[in-house]
Amino acid sequence: MIPVKGYRGAKVAVLGLGRSGLATAAALRAGGAEPLLWDDSPEARAGAEAEGFTLTDLTRNTAFEGLACLVTSPGIPHLYPAPHPVIARALQAGVPVDNDIGLFFQSAADSSWAEMETPPKVIAVTGSNGKSTTTALIHHILQVAGRPTQMAGNIGTGVLSIAPPQDGEVIVLELSSYQTELARALTPDVAVFTNLSPDHLDRHGGMGGYFAAKARLFTLGGPDRAVIGVDEAEGRFLAGQLGQGPQDDRVIRISSGTKLEDFGWSVFARKGFLAEWRKGRQVASIDLREVKGLPGAHNHQNACAAYAACRALGLAPKLIEGALHSFAGLPHRSQLVGERGGVRFVNDSKATNVDSAAKALQAFPRIRWIAGGLGKEGGIAALRPLLGPVVKAYLIGHSARDFALQLGETPHELCETMDRAVARAAAEAEPGEVVLLAPAAASFDQYPNFEKRGEDFTARVQALIGPGA
């Protein structure tokens, strides 16, 4: 646990008592603060009481008397589309509003760091797509390199729940726009921006607000190194704003598909090869085509981002290359779950919308595509130009028939259930093909979440081909 500093003896309200909220309350208490907890859910309040915390009804008029700060969970709106009433009252009363990310950066460093041979570092990763894979990949590379490391944030463990960093340790954080927008302190040593595509626009008041929330990671504290994906206009703008000209190697530009040879430091992937360039010359190259845990151009961008972040820490290219090959990928994100007779089975259950499914469909040359579920507005019509690699689609769930009408001349079969779709795709697949679960739809018609859907796919594949096949 990271005890929160700066509030000893003070009252600090905590709004939202999920995983991060309870961890924040515990860290505040460990730092000598008096946490006052509230959640709109009676069940969440009861759970907090069972752990010995004090509940305070923050909806009462007197709740903000003598309050030093309000700490809110990331899922609670603080501005758009409308602030939660408790947050609105705090803002009206002039009470500072923060989140656990801000408290982490305020509290992680202490006097013992000055006595360490190698003070700890923090790498923070944000962006629209690829955050989790990039974060996990950096963490994996550091583990292979023998560096002590912890991974936290949006990817799993709450930032205040990790152990105090030790000598030479690297903390790797995945940060969402909800987290970066509100944190009052953001001071990573290395900050990574993967890419930007429309998402959460109602929460941020539009695309400009969404980008501004991401950009705060780079502009609020000023990292020593900024790794910036420049395949979109926003990334190019951010890189230009942070650097003192194209040769400023404090900014490492990354791309999937575009040569970046005229900058002080860049890393890009083209035709399956990652290249690192510094001051006008190539210094390293990696063949990504045989890295099974990172298929497709979108994962090659993730590889560039992780490579650049680790190079910023001084890791050698050959060490990073070896670690890329041993990366198994994250569950439900282009995850290779089995192989039989030259046919690979890939679980990308996280592809719940057209944009993420498009990336999966561009990752393989011949695909037996399992798609469907609870379709979103527009269905899969936008994917029609990308269906060339699809040998056949196997449609499941609530939207199976709607999806069938949008496939054009692509061969397809209405399977309804995962069991039948996996069995039919496996029976018809030929060597060199990939059976790909990339639903382009939500899971809630048949599963509680995309994880359970991916687990069902994995279990049925392994029942057919055997675990570890």
Binding-site residues for ATP sit at 127-133
Give the distance from CA 468 to its chain's centroid.
Answer: 27
Q: Are strands 281-287 and 273-278 parallel, antiparallel or unpaired?
A: antiparallel
Name every residue whose Cβ is closer than 8 Å to that of residue 135 and which is 6 or more positions away in sequence.
Answer: 125, 151, 153, 155, 172, 173, 174
Q: Which residues of 323-336 are buried (b: 16+ CB within 10 A; e: fewer)?
A: bbeebebbebbbbe
Q: Write out the binding residues.
A: 127-133
Of the candidates 143, 146, 469, the one whose C-alpha atom is nearest the C-alpha of residue 327 is 143
Q: Are strands 97-98 and 121-126 parallel, antiparallel or unpaired?
A: unpaired
Phi, psi of 111 (to 5 degrees): -65, -25
37 contacts 21 by C-beta, under 8 angstroms: yes
443 contacts 373 by C-beta, under 8 angstroms: yes
Rounded distance, CA 13 to CA 233, Å? Answer: 39
